[in-house]
Structure 1
């Protein structure tokens, strides 16, 4: 981990919001968290597998329970009244896919401008079955020189597995395989979509 990124994780919330998160995790089947996020002020957290809308709710409750300040990407067109403020409060970052520098360029710029930014995303890019993951998050991490912390959402055990952080320095295809291997054990809510 680069020395300039070493800092306590960005946090938010209070005892009440952490309690809401813990209650939500229990109500959704008794979810637990294994592993620990590294002390860093910037990172990308690819969460896989992403096979259901329930993934978002599990993720929100885990974020609240741990008191984390996470961000996620959303199409700029959904950030409208009446949900705009809620989406931003939950960490939403609007991105315009038509922008000249593309989503990767926009996010590298965000990492350069923000002192703290932990970005969670689904590398599959959709809940349906895909033949290949999107690689943009690896390009972002490599260009911004920030760690990737793979997280496996395992519905079979109701466990969020936080894997060790990795720096993206080599061939993107090889780095993608490293990330996939870290979360390969996890079973999604709808395994047929993984």
Structure 2
């Protein structure tokens, strides 16, 4: 599969800039998420770098036979309509596994959003793991991978830095990366 994905990247003119860490546990946040193409490009990149990355996707995608394929390549369904302890469930996965690399789209959708979901940040803090920022930049045809970012626990300090990185990456469709606004309680 690695050779096939390398050939695909060569044909379409894409390259990978940066590398995933050797750590056994981290969260990868992928943005901007503007097209279904993002998944295919990132899946090819995953095979090229040779690192098993699991990912969460909306449960509506896990119908037969697509669900079998998604699970086989590391996908797990998430019911986005159910609120509650999703962060705690994922933190527990990180605590109980020796190795877990998990990819998430902080926007939670391909559509424009007014604020990003913060779950990935809280997972990283509670599980004491780094965040790896990865963006498919269609303007340069690069998968850009930033070195691991260790959250400080101060979301008001860290989140603007994360947002600033992703503002340098151009998605397939133009999409504004929103400013960080603390969640109203």
Range of TM-score over shorter length: 0.7 to 0.9
Residue 132 of structure 2 corresponds to: 149
Q: Does 1:54 align with 2:41?
A: no
Query: CA offset at residue 160 of structure 1?
Result: 1.0
Gaps of 5+ in 2: 178-185
CA RMSD in angstroms comes to 1.9
Structure 1 counterpart of 2:143 = 160
Q: Confirm or deny: 8 A CA contact 1:20 1:64 kept in the other structure.
A: no
Question: 1: distance between equivalents of 2:154 and 2:109?
Answer: 24
8 Å CA contact 1:150–1:164 kept in 2: the answer is yes
Q: State the shift of 1:73 in Å.
A: 0.5
Residue number in structure 2 paired with 1:135: 118
Find the residue that maps to 2:132 and give its secondary structure. coil
**Quick check: 1:23 aligned with 2:15?**
no
Alpha-carbon separation, structure 1, partners of 2:85 and 2:61: 18
Residues 123-169 of structure 1 deviation map (CA, whole Å, 9 limit, x = unaligned): 11111111211111000000000000111221000011111111112
Residue 37 (structure 1) aligns with: 20
| CA contact 2:32–2:175 (8 Å) conserved in 1 | no
Q: Which of 91, 104, 126 is residue 108 of structure 1 equivalent to?
A: 91
Give the deviation of 1:98 after TM superposition. Answer: 6.2
4+ runs of 1 displaced by more than 6 Å?
Answer: none
Contact 1:21 1:63 in 2 (8 A): no
Which residue of the partner structure matches residue 164 of structure 2?
A: 181
Helix, strand or coil for the counterpart of 2:131? coil
- Aligned pair count reads 177
Summarize the Cα distance change of 1:130–1:96 in structure 2 as closer, same or farther, 3 Å threshold.
Answer: closer
Confirm or deny: 8 A CA contact 2:53 2:74 kept in the other structure. Answer: yes
Relative to the length of structure 2, the TM-score reads 0.87
SS of aligned partner of 2:120 = helix
Aligned counterpart, 2:77: 94
In structure 2, C-alpha distance between the alignment counterparts of 1:185 and 1:191, rounded to whole Å:
12
Q: Distance in 1 between matches of 2:83 and 2:33?
A: 28
**Structure 1, unpaired ranges of 5+:** 1-16
The equivalent position to 2:104 in structure 1, one of 90, 110, 121, is: 121
